[in-house]
Amino acid sequence: MNSGPIHSPPVAAVEAPRADLIDRLVSLSKQRGFVFPSSEIYGGINALYDFGPLGTRMRRNIRNRWWRAMIELRDDIEPIETSIIMNPQVWVASGHVAGFADPLVDCTGRCRKRWRADHIANERAERGKDPAVVACPECDGRLTEARQFNLMFKTFVGPVEDAAAQVYLRPETAQGMFVNFANVLNATRRRLPFGIAQNGRSFRNEISPGNFIFRLREFEQMEMEYFCKPGTDEELFAYWCDERLRWFIEDLGVRRDRLRLRPHEKGELAHYAKAANDVEYLFPFGWSELEGIANRTDFDLRAHQEHSGRDLSYFDADANERVIPYVIEPAVGVDRIFITLLCDAYDEEEVRGEKRVVMHLHPDVAPVQVAVLPLSKRAELCEVAGRLEHELRPRFATEYDETQSIGRRYRRQDEIGTPLAITVDFDSLEDHGVTIRERDGMTQVRVPMTGLADALRDQLEESRGRSLHRAAGSESSG
């Protein structure tokens, strides 16, 4: 465990992102190939998005960073992959069928939109309307009485669409780990405490999704259930809160002054939770959840044991007794991290009278680490640059680009967050050297091709250091 907690900064010290940042990110994401509206040629579909070439690479990097920190670098957590469609009794036992619902209201006025009743005040405030007035945020129309709306998507297994064949698309990955607790325990012979982790798709029929990819109907989760002896849960809950906050700062380079841990009040705790903290980020639309850490007690294992009739207890050899383990759950969405990194990295500055957009992405999450650019389209330069890119590809995430002027190509790489760009020029044909340009300071250094891979490795390590320095609060931008 780490030596000490990471404390949230005082709110007064926080510099909020610019109010129009989401609109700018939507435009940049489509233009550069991070995110596209799903089914756009047919008019799209609300709260569903596709991820383009750069977005797909970046999402994989996010998953890899989480996987490495949560599984590869630890000796107490096992991975698992469970089915999206499960026996519907799983969701009865977990409480989702009876209680996984939000209050829904309909506008009876001009727009006829539907809203979450508990979000009306915030929705009105975002549109510059009086949040104290209970009316439609869009057209000020009268709202219906609230009714409960279950968020799970329903479908059918088999050829007959009747109640007996009805199943659900999972709204979370957690239950797959709970129902496999005994299987993993028997297969690995683990002793408490230990965790089970997985990454996968989940689905929620959100009433009022929005803010780009912040809240989606199809999303990707990275969750871990850490099973422990009752009585040790409070210490482990505190540990995992600190550990997950630290991961965002040190592994992803998210700025500390835009992060905080917010404890849930008693009235907002989930029915299964003894305690819960959110790692929150200061988005352009305010402080909102990035990751949740919950002390779920023994609720899930006990519920599944009672409903299934299967023994889900753990035999504690030291105490010579059987116990139902308590569970600490850190749960985060890939998409939620993705939008956080874009918000946190985006910057604009003036360079020689022109605006430069730059993404200060950590080099281990940037979709491209090293861009190889011939100075012009001359065949001899392109041949050398193409050969270099192929040689570097096994060690770095690379991209080759020969289109447009070199200045425009630098700007494109800045916009997608590429830490380093290599320029092959006419001198390269004579001195066998290339120029490495660094993204943040736009500094350039000449190095020989023979030592290029080592020089890039060293510069990327310096870039990691700058990212950590920035995350720690020594720089501000955005």
Is residue 6 very low, low, confident or very high in pLDDT (cuts 50, 70, 90)?
low
Both structure tokens of 82: 């469970």
Is the pLDDT at 435 greater than 50? The verdict is: yes
Is residue 2 very low, low, confident or very high in pLDDT (cuts 50, 70, 90)?
very low
pLDDT of residue 249: 97
For the chain, list the domains and their CATH numbers: 11-87+171-342 (3.30.930.10), 358-474 (3.40.50.800)
Percentage of the chain exceeding pLDDT 90:
85
Encode pLDDT of 82-97 as tens digits: 999 999 999 999 999 9
Both structure tokens of 159: 């050829």
What average pLDDT does this structure show over 217-244? 97
309 backbone φψ class: left, alpha, beta (φ>0; ψ -120 to 50): left
pLDDT of residue 5: 55
Both structure tokens of 340: 């956080």
pLDDT of residue 252: 98
Kindly report the pTM of this predicted structure. 0.91
Is the pLDDT at 208 greater than 80? The verdict is: no
What average pLDDT does this structure show over 294-306? 97
- Give Cβ neighbours of residue 157 (< 8 Å, ≥ 6 apart): 85, 165, 167
Average pLDDT across the chain, whole number:
93
pLDDT of residue 17: 84
Q: Measure the CA–CA gap between 97 and 87, rounded to whole angstroms.
A: 12
Is the pLDDT at 196 greater than 80? The verdict is: yes
Is the pLDDT at 163 greater than 80? The verdict is: yes
Contact of 224 with 329, CB cutoff 8 Å: yes
pLDDT of residue 118: 87
pLDDT of residue 101: 81
What average pLDDT does this structure show over 59-74? 98
What average pLDDT does this structure show over 360-373? 98
- Tell me how long the chain is: 478
